Amino acid sequence: MATNTTVTEFILLGFSESPRVQTILFLIFLAIYITTWLGNLTIIIIVIFVPQFHTPMYFLLANLAIIDISDSTVTSVKMLWDLISHTNSISYNWCLAQIFFFHFTGGTVVFFLVVMAVDRYIAIYKPLQYLLIMHEGVCIGLVAGAWLGGFAHSIVQVALILQLPFCGPNVLDNFYCDVPQLIKLACTDTYTTELLMVSNSGLLLTLIFCILLVSYSVILVKIRTHVTEGKHKALSTCAAQIIVMSLIFVPGMFIYDRPFQVFPGDKIVSVCYTFITPMLNPMIFTLRNREMKGTIRKLIRKMMSLAIKDGK
């Protein structure tokens, strides 16, 4: 518990106080959350059980699917419960826990996109040595490194929040606990803390985003000028990763790469990277991947034929 903190819970304003609107939003967000699970779980199952997908790229894609499910769950479960039960409170400790896991999974996604860019760089620039370089041990190490990076980032966020006293007010204009809104409720001057938070989140996002843009630009130039065999597949894979990268970084920079003020569009942007992006990621990768699409079609046909046989 933070020093001199008397606040025991926070009130989340959410999207609306109308029970009717909350019920409608519950159904919409529940559909999105279920779609997120189905899409990402499909990728995970295919990568695990179909031998042709036992490659470094698909191993990383399956791990991204796991992170997407985790990232979405951190905010979705609490918000869905609040919408259906028409409650809007969260305890101080649970608020801190949500911030920790939100930045843990969110930070992991950011570092994981760097790992995927490294994978594509090696695949394009060292195609003959690709499987030797990206062997199982290296892939596991890179995945573990991304999770550790997310953990370190999250620990810093929570550690800085713990230093702040909260003695009222306790109303957060959001549908989940996050640093930009919470820090404004502290009963002390937060200028230095805000600078540290922006450095740890906003500037880090911007720096990594710029590095990734340069990296993918170099990769795309190499593909267009030197790659002849499998050029379309390489371009499609890189395009999918660039789209996913943009969906994650652009909203994140909008929220964290500025002084902590509440803007009218913050909630909509937050919905984008907490709900929409984890749902779209598997669609983006599968729609741009012929092998994955073909496997999914075969799986659907097989399930339908089994269902027909059972029905008879």
CB 274 within 8 A of CB 76: yes
In a domain? residue 137 = yes
Predicted model pTM? 0.89
In a domain? residue 3 = no
Judged by phi (left if over 0) then psi (alpha if -120 to 50, else beta), residue 230 lies in left
Question: How far apart are the C-alpha atoms of 184 and 260, rounded to whole Å?
Answer: 8
How many other C-beta atoms can be found within 10 angstroms of the C-beta atom of residue 152? 13
In a domain? residue 2 = no
Instruction: Write the CATH number for 94.
Output: 1.20.1070.10
Question: How far apart are the C-alpha atoms of 26 and 39, rounded to whole Å?
Answer: 20
In a domain? residue 42 = yes
On the CB side of 212, CA atoms within 13 Å amount to 27
- Give how many domains the chain has, as a whole number: 1
In a domain? residue 223 = yes
Question: How far apart are the C-alpha atoms of 155 and 160, rounded to whole Å?
Answer: 9
In a domain? residue 4 = no
Q: Please tell me the predicted confidence (pLDDT) of residue 308.
A: 72
Tell the residue number behind the tokens 């496997």, with chain if given.
Answer: 295
In a domain? residue 164 = yes
SS3 of the chain: helix, strand, coil, percent, to 5: 80, 5, 20
In a domain? residue 196 = yes
* Coil/strand/helix, residue 11: strand
Range of the domain at 81: 9-311
Residue 33 makes CB contacts below 8 A (sequence gap 6+) with 72, 76, 80, 275
Tell the residue number behind the tokens 């994978």, with chain if given.
Answer: 119
Per-residue pLDDT of the chain (312 residues; tens, 9 = 90+): 445 668 889 999 888 888 899 999 999 999 999 999 999 999 999 999 888 899 999 999 999 999 999 999 999 999 999 999 988 899 999 999 999 999 999 999 999 999 999 999 998 888 889 999 999 999 999 999 999 999 999 999 999 899 889 987 899 888 999 988 888 888 888 888 888 888 878 888 999 999 999 999 998 888 888 766 667 788 888 888 899 899 899 988 888 877 666 676 788 888 888 899 999 988 888 877 788 888 888 887 877 777 677 665
